[in-house]
């Protein structure tokens, strides 16, 4: 096993009286792919947002590269530059061309020179077969294309860890495949990913570790084989039966 880069220890998150995360503990190693599964509202998205400091936690600790993210001296912007995040609704910037979308992170957040980054950005777009669309605006692209650009936009920051929040849930069924293929490709080249997903077959294929959440509680975690073929808990079994 590679080193642990992300460590969640009894993480608690509340929205008012509503406890969304109830003591989640989880380790993520370098080059590892972990899939979070569970019904909507089980806390998957919130968990990802907490790692990216888009939400602050109310208990427990999150440790990234040995540094506790709850430390007041932590600069959230620096944390986010190393943890890419991709959203269900793509959230590409509609006023920027595809290429500009990919450039905005390295140029505006990392303050790199535009001319130094353009080639990298074009190579990334080449990888997803959209180099020829680099001057188009996002609304000219299909949902699948937009989501692939959004993934590449995160990759342009060269993050140590990629957080993916149900990235295929807003897509036409016919467009899900191309996005999952890209993620498979990323997994095979060793990208560390924490993925919230409803695609069970994908999770089985790509994950080293599958985590089942229910009502903010980590019910069960294990290899895809353990979770999908021999679930230990009744609620895991029921959930898998329902989504099948």
Partner 1 sequence: MVDETDARLSEETPSFFAPRRKQLLLGHRAIVASALSTVVIIGGLIAVFFLAPGGATVRHFFFNPHDMWQSLVGDHKQALSSVGLGLLINIRIFLIAEVFILAFGLALAWTRMTKSPVLMPFRILAIIYSDIFRGIPVLLVFLLIGFGVPALEISFISSQSLAVYGCVALILTYSAYVAEVLRAGIYSVPHGQILAARSLGLTNSTTMRRVILPQAVRTVIPPLLNDFISLQKDTALLSVLGVIDAVQAGTIYQDLRFNSSGLVVASLLFLAMTIPLTRVTDRLIARDRNRRLAST
- Residue given tokens 């140029």 in the structure block: 107
Q: What is the DSSP letter of 230?
A: S
Please say which residue, 77 or 234, places its beta carbon nearer to partner 1: 77
> Please, which residue, 13 or 22, has the CB nearer to partner 1?
13
For partner 1, the closer CB: 95 or 242: 95
Question: How many other C-beta atoms are found inside a 10 Å radius of the C-beta of residue 29?
Answer: 16
Task: In angstroms, give the least distance from the CB of 102 to partner 1.
Answer: 10
Residues that bind partner 1 (CB under 8 A): 52, 54, 76-78, 80-81, 83-85, 87, 89, 91-95, 104-105, 108-110, 139, 150, 153-154, 157
Rounded-to-integer distance, Cα 222 and Cα 81, Å: 29
C-beta of 43 vs 106, nearer to partner 1: 106
H or E segment at 73?
none
Q: Output the smallest distance, CB 66 to partner 1, in A.
A: 20
Minimal distance, residue 108 CB to partner 1, in Å = 5
> CB 222 → partner 1: shortest distance, Å?
29
State which residue, 111 or 244, has the beta carbon closest to partner 1.
Answer: 111
Q: Report DSSP state, residue 75.
A: -
Nearest-angstrom CA–CA distance, 212 and 200: 11
Pairing of strands 4-15, 59-64: antiparallel
CB of 87 to partner 1, least distance (A): 6
The whole-angstrom separation of Cα 99 and Cα 114 is 11
């Amino acid at each position: 096993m590679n080193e642990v880069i992300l460590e969640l220890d009894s993480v608690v998150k509340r929205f008012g009286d509503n406890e969304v995360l109830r003591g989640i503990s989880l380790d993520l190693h370098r080059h590892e792919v972990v899939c979070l599964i569970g019904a909507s509202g089980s806390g998957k998205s919130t968990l990802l947002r907490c790692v990216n400091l888009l939400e602050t936690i109310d208990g427990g600790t999150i440790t990234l590269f040995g540094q506790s993210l709850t430390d007041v001296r932590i600069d959230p912007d620096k944390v986010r530059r190393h943890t890419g995040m991709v959203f269900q609704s793509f959230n590409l910037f509609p006023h920027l061309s595809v290429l500009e979308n990919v450039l905005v992170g390295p140029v505006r957040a990392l303050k790199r020179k535009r001319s130094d980054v353009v080639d990298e950005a074009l190579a990334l777009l080449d990888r997803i077969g959209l180099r020829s669309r680099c001057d188009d605006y996002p609304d000219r692209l299909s949902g699948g294309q937009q989501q692939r650009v959004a993934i590449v936009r995160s990759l342009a920051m060269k993050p140590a860890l990629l957080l993916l929040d149900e990235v295929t849930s807003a897509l036409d069924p016919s467009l899900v495949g191309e996005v999952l293929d890209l993620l498979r490709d990323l997994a095979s080249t060793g990208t560390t990913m924490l993925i919230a997903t409803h695609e069970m077959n994908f999770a089985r294929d790509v994950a080293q570790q599958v985590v089942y959440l229910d009502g903010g509680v980590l019910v069960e975690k294990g290899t895809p084989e353990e979770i999908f073929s021999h679930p230990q808990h009744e609620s895991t079994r029921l959930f898998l039966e329902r989504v099948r």
